[in-house]
């Protein structure tokens, strides 16, 4: 098993080269392939912001034109690369009882031209704001967790119903409106077709309350533990009853204190109750906070075969792994640093960032749960994706080249001067 003490610049570069070699065939031209490799290295670097300008400077290029072409116009197979990343992750993290985790996250944006942008609610910021929404499929096993797939949500009225706006953002004509649960279902279908090993699906109540998604999973004989709203109607022998009404009838002896997995501050312990319904394959799982017993969460469980309560609880807890993926993706792989507007460019940037995140997940799994410290020293905490990314940035940092740095300083100032002059001219024409 690899140890942190054995990490080196050569080992980290070799690990990333191995990951990139799996996707290299998706790029037709060698210069595009080399630029993509440099881009992934830049996403894992210590750059403060990782957009087309800074990534090009990090890659040693004289202008951002080539990096912007990588995102916007160069010929390469982005969906094929997505599939290669999935294969790479399954080689290192795949398990038959793993959990597919669906969720969406927001990307705050200014203006109106970025594909899918509008004022809409995002749980990422906890408010309605101008943003894009990406729907993602995560994968969680005992060996690690990562992001398998992605889709950009396009609102119906402000985008799909306005073909001229879609055309300007290069949204393909065949793309129609799809709800977030429909986008998640499409990604699950791709995982099934690819033979991804998993035993469960979980997601929050925006997906759990969606009947068509649940019926699809049941039709495929896929076990799920989906969060639902407290007002969700549960079918019982006495008719339909709200989930919160059923929770109020659970006797004191009906609760069991169990952990749904380790958290940053220790085991995440709650009180849990499991209630049967009129369908033997459906049960209602209720979670109660220890510090505030009035704080409840509800899950609808579908299991073609009987499953112990502890496993249902663990699957419910696995939903938070995608939140960790979002946090790691944004903090360590620059998921939200992009400055692209076109629909294809969003997929290209996010997919390259997914490869960077996959590299961190696989490296973390290879290092093992814990590193053995030298004799006589204190034990080490499990290495994090943040620490791996930090080591990568420090150990593989390219040498500083003073002329290159000064060139980019002049380039940025020259570009900003032109942008300011254009802005002033537009304002003058508008004020006439």
Tell me, what DSSP letter sits at residue 203?
E
Question: Residue 2: what pLDDT?
Answer: 42
pLDDT digits (tens, 9 = 90+) for 289-344: 999 999 999 999 999 888 999 999 999 999 999 999 999 999 999 999 999 999 99
Of 7, 12, 10, which is closest to residue 40 (Cα–Cα)? 12
pLDDT exceeds cutoff 80 at 7 = no
Question: Residue 228: what pLDDT?
Answer: 97
Cβ atoms of residues 70 and 36 within 8 Å: yes
Question: Residue 137: what pLDDT?
Answer: 98
Question: Residue 370: what pLDDT?
Answer: 45
What is the residue whose two structure tokens read 């065939």? 25
CA–CA dist 27, 52 (Å, integer): 19
Residue of 410 and 1 predicted with greater confidence: 410
Question: Residue 151: what pLDDT?
Answer: 98
Residue 372 has φ and ψ, to the nearest 5°, of -80, 120
pLDDT exceeds cutoff 80 at 204 = yes
Of 206, 224, 274, 279, which is closest to residue 246 (Cα–Cα)? 274
Question: Residue 1: what pLDDT?
Answer: 35
Cβ atoms of residues 277 and 234 within 8 Å: yes
Bridge partners of residue 85, in order along the sequence: none
Question: Residue 106: what pLDDT?
Answer: 96
Which range, of 66-70, 347-351, 404-408, averages the lowest pLDDT?
404-408
Tell me, what DSSP letter sits at residue 6?
G
Exposure string over 337-373, b if 16+ CB within 10 A, otherwise e? bbbbbbbbbbbbbbbbbbbbbbbbbbbbbebeeebee
pLDDT digits (tens, 9 = 90+) for 213-226: 999 999 999 999 99
**85 falls in which pLDDT band (50, 70, 90)?**
very high
pLDDT exceeds cutoff 60 at 4 = no
pLDDT exceeds cutoff 80 at 401 = no
Percent of the chain with pLDDT over 70: 95
Tell me, what DSSP letter sits at residue 275?
E
Percent of the chain with pLDDT over 90: 77
**408 falls in which pLDDT band (50, 70, 90)?**
confident
pLDDT digits (tens, 9 = 90+) for 375-397: 666 667 788 899 999 989 988 88
What does the mean pLDDT of the chain come to?
92
């Amino acid at each position: 098993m690899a140890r942190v003490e054995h990490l080196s610049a050569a080992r980290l570069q070799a690990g990333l080269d191995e990951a990139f070699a799996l996707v290299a065939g998706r790029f037709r031209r060698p210069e595009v392939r080399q630029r993509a490799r440099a881009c992934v290295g830049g996403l894992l670097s210590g750059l403060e912001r990782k957009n087309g300008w800074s990534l090009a400077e990090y890659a040693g290029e004289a202008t951002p034109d080539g990096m912007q072409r990588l995102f916007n116009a160069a010929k390469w197979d982005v969906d094929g690369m997505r599939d290669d990343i999935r294969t790479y992750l399954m080689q290192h993290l795949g398990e038959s009882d793993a959990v597919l985790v669906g969720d969406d996250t927001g990307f705050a944006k200014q203006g109106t031209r970025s594909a899918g942008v509008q004022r809409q609610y995002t749980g990422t910021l906890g408010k309605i704001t101008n943003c894009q929404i990406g729907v993602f499929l995560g994968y969680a096993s005992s060996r690690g967790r990562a992001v398998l797939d992605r889709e950009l949500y396009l609102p119906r009225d402000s985008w799909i119903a306005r073909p001229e706006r879609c055309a300007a953002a290069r949204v393909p004509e065949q793309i129609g409106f799809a709800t977030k649960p429909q986008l998640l279902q499409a990604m699950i279908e791709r995982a099934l077709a690819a033979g991804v090993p998993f035993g469960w699906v979980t997601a929050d109540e925006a997906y759990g309350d969606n009947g068509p998604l649940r019926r699809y999973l049941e039709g495929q004989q896929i076990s799920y533990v989906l969060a639902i709203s407290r007002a969700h109607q549960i079918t019982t022998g006495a008719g339909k009853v709200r989930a919160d009404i059923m929770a109020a009838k659970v006797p004191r002896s009906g609760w069991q204190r169990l952990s749904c997995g380790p958290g940053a501050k220790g085991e995440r312990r709650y009180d849990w109750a499991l209630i049967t319904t009129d369908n033997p394959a459906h049960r209602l799982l209720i979670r109660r906070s220890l510090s505030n017993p009035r704080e409840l969460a509800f899950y609808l469980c579908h299991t073609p075969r009987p499953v112990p309560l502890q496993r249902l609880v663990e699957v419910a807890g696995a939903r938070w792994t995608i939140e960790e993926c979002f946090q790691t993706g944004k903090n360590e792989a620059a998921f939200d640093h992009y400055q692209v507007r076109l629909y294809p460019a969003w997929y290209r940037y996010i997919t390259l960032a997914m490869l960077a995140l996959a590299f961190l997940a696989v490296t973390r799994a290879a290092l093992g749960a814990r590193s053995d410290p030298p004799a006589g020293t204190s034990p080490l905490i499990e290495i994090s994706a943040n620490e791996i990314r930090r080591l990568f940035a420090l150990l593989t940092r390219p040498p500083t080249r003073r002329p290159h740095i000064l060139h980019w300083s002049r380039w940025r100032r020259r570009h900003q001067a032109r942008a300011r002059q254009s802005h002033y001219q537009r304002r003058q024409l508008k004020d006439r």
